[in-house]
Amino acid sequence: RLVVSSLGNSRDLQGEQGEHAVLAGLAAMAECLETQPYQGGEKIISSAWNVALTQADAQFEPRQFVELPFYNQPLFDELAQIEFLIHLLPAGQAQMEGLESVLVKQAELLRVQSNPDAESLLSRLWQAYAHYSFSHSVVQRLADELGKSEDEDDIERAERIVAWGQRLQSDSAFDNSQLLRGMPSGKLLDWLDARDPAPAQLKKLTTQLTRRPAGSQIGILLLDLDADVFKLQATFDSLINSHYRAFKVVVFTTGDLPATTSLNDTLHFVKVTESNYVDKINQVVKQASSDWLMLAQAGEEFTRSGLLLASAELIDAGQCRAVAVDEIHRQANGTLAPLFRPGFNLDLLQSVPTLAARHWLIRRELLVEAGGYSREFPKALEFDLLLRLIEQGGMSGLAHLSEPVLICDAPELEENQDEQKALTRHLGQRGYQAEVSSALPGTYKIDYRHAHRPVVSILLHSQDNLPELQRCLHSILQRTRYQRYEVLIGDNASTSAELSTWLDQQQQLSSRVRVFRADQRVSTAALRNLVSQEAKGEYLILLDAESQIVNVGWIESLLNQAQRPEVGVVGVRLVDREGTITQAGLVLGLNGGVGSGFVGEPKTSRGYMQRLVVEQNYSAVSSACLMIAKALYDSLGGLDEEAFAESLGDVDLCLKAAQSGYLTVWTPHVQVVHSGVVNAPQPALGALAGKWAAQFAQDEAYNANLDLDGKGFTLAV
């Protein structure tokens, strides 16, 4: 009400009084937008600007709450004026979020095309104008283009557009065409544009590919099962506008063939049905001349430089069998978000294949050797293929390129029986009678059903820390369902008589607890190594005294991963008492050292790529709670007592295991209360970064295009 009255009163006031009235109204509006949450109430009026753009057309909704006489022309005149300003000068979270997808679509329509004709350009401008007619730059470009025409209708339209532009300019000189640049989607598009090679680099890459074409030519297997010519055209346009010219595209369509083509053509059409398209794809794969093949869907768009940069990388990729690339996802609301994958991550692939198994570049001859795509799993073609490649050649030669190659619709995470069946089949091939379950749609948890029930030794560190140690041991004894375990407490020459008495009592009260006392104070690493030699278990759990166990099946969940022959170390999800994330795997280089992503995320958060709720591989995990086979621990020399005597020995241990060919697995199915703080003094951090320079240069469990500041897992801009 204050805004309306102020705008109305300002017309009768001059100078300072009028200005004050307007500013008071706008200040009230700004405060409301910034401080009051949007309340999704029931609409009573819908309003849209008419074709002539002279006024807003208001329509009554079926349900009303006031008597009709309240609605009068002065009211609607005021509303139209306010609405005009709201469109012209958008503000507030709700409006900006709604506008973001509109501006994204507008930006896509205005993107520079290769060899555009005047008619095509004008059509795109009209579409961009229809999406958001309050953009100064769009209005100006449309007016200029119409002004070039000699057609009387176009001249008349140009006059109207010019008048509209003048009205926009008279009310605000603010260039709202820059709005998108401040939004997440706009920042992502700007970042993508900045990746375009400079002219000199583009020429160099093109020349390089021309001189050494063998081994790097990419073919696209394009599925058009809906016979959608508009989606096909969108994909074709993106390829034409890209810097890569050596592509070959085979379209598998259920529609009518537009022309007679052959595999020798750059664009080849193959008629298919829902029942035979997989067989048709496999026939083409056998005959194709391309070195690498990618399966894509009609409507997916290729980035300008993605295929070119991928092809350049593939020239010297003789050992690669398959390469994952990155994507830009178009969300359901029309906004854009990056999907930047880590390096090859076996457990993430198995846990969330919808996000991890799409759009791989597969070496053609290996695709043929693997038997092509399987008709048995039509909704998991790529996932099943990757699993069979792993069965044939292990994880070697499975790589990742940190380059967004496609812009595509974000896939829905939904129940997919083909994924679940393909994963179960694969695990059977690896010798497991595993059970695959899905607590959240599109994500999978594997129970490997190991028959062996090994003894587990839990190693605790005691050093004048009685309250912490009491809470930790109590949580172990009260919340551990697994029976074959022991607790070894290594006391580091504590001076507390109370602690000493309590330790003696624990040995007497429970046969599971054994205490070992160091004669003189040693480093944490040395103490853990000494105590590990006394362990009777096949598996060790390094557990901080600060830690408190949450879930009763914690040891079973750790053993579920640790007993896999390819796994060396298993880490857990660290939380505070409210369940808020304090640590979820360790990222090398994060915040200038070693840190955890997602710190501060609520317990309900799924995280980037679902990484807070699924098992996956990390480069390192914390010894706040860490499981490792005793034989492997011994063979790696345990914790480094020199360089990492008091800190970062757990990270070094994980990296030593990786160097020996073992995976580190992080599981969200074990939660431990712990602060999650990583103690990383500069001398130890410098030693770690020097010893593992390549791993710090690029953490394979992360992505080079993700930020290394804050919580991580956001676009690095």
Q: Note the pLDDT tens digit of each residue in 6-50.
A: 445 555 556 677 778 778 877 876 777 666 665 566 777 777 765
Q: In this structure, what token pair is assigned to residue 265?
A: 């053509």
Please name which of 256, 246, 202, 243 lies closest in space to residue 220, comparing C-alpha atoms.
Answer: 246
Please name which of 138, 143, 136 lies closest in space to residue 175, comparing C-alpha atoms.
Answer: 136
Q: Is 274 helix (H, G, I), strand (E, B) or coil?
A: coil
Taking 60 as the threshold, does the pLDDT of residue 603 lie above it? Answer: yes
Question: What is the per-residue pLDDT for 647?
Answer: 98
Taking 50 as the threshold, does the pLDDT of residue 152 lie above it? Answer: yes
Please name which of 211, 16, 207, 184 lies closest in space to residue 101, comparing C-alpha atoms.
Answer: 184
Instruction: Summarize pLDDT for 537-566 with one digit per residue, the tens.
Output: 999 999 999 999 999 999 999 999 999 999
Cα dist from 684 to 71, 437, 521, 679, whole Å: 73, 41, 20, 9
Q: Which residue has the tokens 């890209």?
A: 242
Taking 60 as the threshold, does the pLDDT of residue 51 lie above it? Answer: no
**Do 488 and 458 contact (CB within 8 A), yes or no?**
yes
Quote the CA–CA distance of 555 and 308 in Å, as a whole number: 48
Quote the CA–CA distance of 87 and 95 in Å, as a whole number: 9
Rounded to an integer, the average pLDDT of 377-400 is 98
Supply φ then ψ for residue 212, to 5 degrees: -130, 65
Taking 70 as the threshold, does the pLDDT of residue 65 lie above it? Answer: no
Q: Is the model's pTM score more than 0.75?
A: yes
**Do 37 and 59 contact (CB within 8 A), yes or no?**
no
The string of DSSP letters for 137-177 reads HHHHHHHHHHHT---HHHHHHHHHHHHHHHHHHHH----GG
Do the bridges between strand 267-271 and strand 248-253 make them parallel or antiparallel, or are there none, so unpaired?
parallel
Q: Of 22-36, 310-324, 642-656, which range is least confident?
A: 22-36
Instruction: Summarize pLDDT for 368-382 with one digit per residue, the tens.
Output: 999 999 999 999 999
Indicate the pLDDT class of residue 58, thresholds 50, 70 and 90.
confident
Quote the CA–CA distance of 534 and 544 in Å, as a whole number: 18
